[in-house]
Amino acid sequence: MLPRLTHICLHVKELDDCVRFYSGYCKLIVLDERVNDGEGSVYMAEAGNKREIVFQLKTGGDSLELTDTDDSHFGFAVESRQAVDEIANRAREDNILFFEPDEYLPGAYFCGVKDPNGNCVDLGCRHLMTPKKLGIGFYSAYRKSRIACKSLGNSRSLSKTM
């Protein structure tokens, strides 16, 4: 049997805030809670994929500060551009919009939202996940746009750079 990815563990500072974020923005559901006196883990997954990849949120971590060149993120697909815009509007109101919605890759429309622990979460539609299919030029332009976006400060807004 080949190894199979079963879960991703995020060591977080504020467990309850992260659970609320991933429930609200990414529509993950709680599968299991193993928490005593505020310490422990919460396991979350997509409602229709409870046996697939699971997020484990574990207490005791520190908040993250992504550098300008760090493109680490979790990617979630949503159904439409309208859904991306609605998420971005909500994130803007919550002051956690990491970068504005735009077509950063040809045909792929997404925005970035910062979770309570500092992770970047991309939410988008029609995202072609394989840079090989796009060609290195598209992927390179995407990285440059993300770096430019991050260097703008807290607003994280970016007009199209590609």
Domain of 21, CATH number, reads 3.10.180.10
Q: Are residues 48 and 83 in the same domain?
A: no
Query: Distance between CA 139 and CA 141 in Å, rounded?
Result: 5
Alpha-carbon gap, residue 12 to 60, rounded angstroms = 6
Tokens of 139: 């992927």
Confidence of residue 2 (pLDDT cuts 50, 70, 90): confident
pLDDT in tens, 94-122: 999 999 999 987 888 999 999 999 999 99
Co-location of 80 and 127 in the same domain: yes
Q: Do 46 and 94 meet the contact criterion of CB atoms below 8 Å apart? A: no
- β-partners of residue 35 are 40
Residue 36 has pLDDT above 60, yes or no: yes
In eight-state DSSP terms, residue 40 is E
- Asked if 127 and 142 count as a contact pair (C-beta separation under 8 A), the reply is no
Does the pTM of the predicted model rise above 0.85? no
Structural domain total, the chain: 2
Worst-scoring range by mean pLDDT, 20-24, 62-66, 146-150?
A: 146-150
Percent pLDDT > 70 in the chain is 78
Q: Is residue 129 part of a domain?
A: yes
Question: Residue 133 above 50 pLDDT?
Answer: no
Domain residue limits at 40: 7-58
Structure tokens at 133: 């299919």
Residue 32: CB atoms within 10 Å: 12
Statement to judge: residues 130 and 98 lie in one domain: yes
Is residue 82 domain-shared with residue 45, that is, in the same domain? no
Asked if residue 86 and residue 142 are part of one domain, the reply reads yes
